Amino acid sequence: MADQDPGGISLLQQMVASGTGAVVTSLFMTPLDVVKVRLQSQRPSLASGKCLLYCNGVLEPLYLCPNGPRCTTWFQDPTRFTGTMDAFVKIVRHEGIRTLWSGLPATLVMTVPATAIYFTAYDQLKAFLCDRALTSDLYAPMVAGALARLGTVTVVSPLELVRTKLQAQHVSYRELGACVRAAVAQGGWRSLWLGWGPTALRDVPFSALYWFNYELVKSWLSGLRSKDQASVGISFVAGGISGTVAAILTLPFDVAKTQRQVALGAVEAVRVTPPHLNSTWLLLRRIRAESGTRGLFAGFLPRIIKAAPSCAIMISTYEFGKSFCQRLNRDQPLGS
């Protein structure tokens, strides 16, 4: 059998357990992710003085109109979302219920290997940090989570970009391919990592906060029992609480990531180059100037509704898979 971690299971078994959790979570949570992305990619209404182009659910200003509001009387926006439930209803009504699972294949292709690598790397890094006494047991989860997520974000960033485009604009895979090719031709292969900065700023702190709070809450709920004996129910509750806290604190970077990635391959009808903001901080300032502080927390409800159960399902499935593999390994005859 392959080398085993301190928990008594092999790396392959760890990856299978985390991959299973990723599949289950993706199937249930993709509709909330689609709604969140649509709300975040929606630009503020500019009916007072600007004409607009509506294309695939995204609103873009074209030019400054000298005639004021009269310029916009022709425009009827069928899917201007006012909230989470409104987005659900309008997406289903105008695009069909299948749209709520837009980007699911890309999500599975990205999430399953990424989650397997991420969770396995986290456990191995945490064990390494604790065994070598490189950091205290209290902060080892925070450091291990941040390092594991940084590596994972870098590897899967192009797939994350593809998924965001599919969810935000409901384009076909052929249109998406043309969009990616145009972006690569214009900006090189670095274009596929568009949004890496805000994604890292969102996911690395998220992981550090999540694992730090998860281990604390799980230890508190477990009482006198050891961490390895904590029930799946305790992992579920601890994961949900930790995921909610981390999601709230990192939401502005999620909004910035969505807007940066939705801009990939944008070709304006009037041949005007869209503004390109290299700095994530400048992008956050622009969002705040256009939409106020509320704009930085666009998609708050679907992100929180998604974060709590998805983190709870993922970690409890992972812990259950690890426990199952540990029992399976103990029950195997020696030398088999």
For residue 145, what is the domain's CATH number? Answer: 1.50.40.10
Q: Is 236 inside any structural domain?
A: yes
Residue 239 near residue 316 (C-beta atoms within 8 A): yes
| Spatial distance between the Cα atoms of 1 and 177, rounded to a whole number of angstroms | 42
* Residue 96 lies inside a defined structural domain of this protein: no
Overall number of domains in the chain: 1
For the chain, how far is it from start to end, CA to CA, in angstroms?
9
- What span, in angstroms and rounded, lies between the C-alpha atoms of 256 and 258? 5
Please state which of the ranges 115-119, 235-239, 278-282 shows the lowest mean pLDDT: 278-282
Q: Show the domain range for 271.
A: 104-328
Give domain status of residue 20, yes or no.
Answer: no
Q: What is the pLDDT of residue 79?
A: 60
| Mean pLDDT over each residue of the chain, to the nearest integer | 75
Q: Percentage of the chain with pLDDT > 90?
A: 12
Q: Looking at residue 226, what is its pLDDT?
A: 54
Classify residue 323: in a domain, yes or no.
yes
Residue 52 lies in a domain: no
* 230 to 50, 83, 237: CA distances (angstroms): 58, 38, 11
Q: Which residue has the higher pLDDT, 70 or 42?
A: 42
Share of the chain above pLDDT 70, in %: 74
Q: Residue 45 has what pLDDT?
A: 57
Look at residue 75 and tell me if it is in a domain: no
pLDDT at residue 221 in the model: 86
What is the number of alpha carbons within 13 Å of residue 130 lying toward its C-beta?
Answer: 14
Mean pLDDT, residues 222-250 taken together: 80
> According to the model, what pLDDT value does residue 263 have?
66
| Residues 299 and 307: beta-carbon distance below 8 Å | no
Mean pLDDT of 218-241: 77
**pLDDT at residue 172 in the model:** 67
Is 188 domain-assigned?
yes
Give the tens place of pLDDT for each residue, 235-245. Answer: 899 999 999 99
Q: In sequence order, which ranges of 42-139 are alpha helices (DSSP H)? A: 84-95, 104-131
Q: What is the pLDDT of residues 4-35, one digit of tens each?
A: 554 566 777 778 878 888 888 888 888 888 88
Which of 295, 333, 328, 331 lies closest to 17, judged by CA? 328
DSSP run (H or E) holding 191: none
Indicate whether 72 belongs to any domain: no
Q: What is the pTM of this model?
A: 0.68
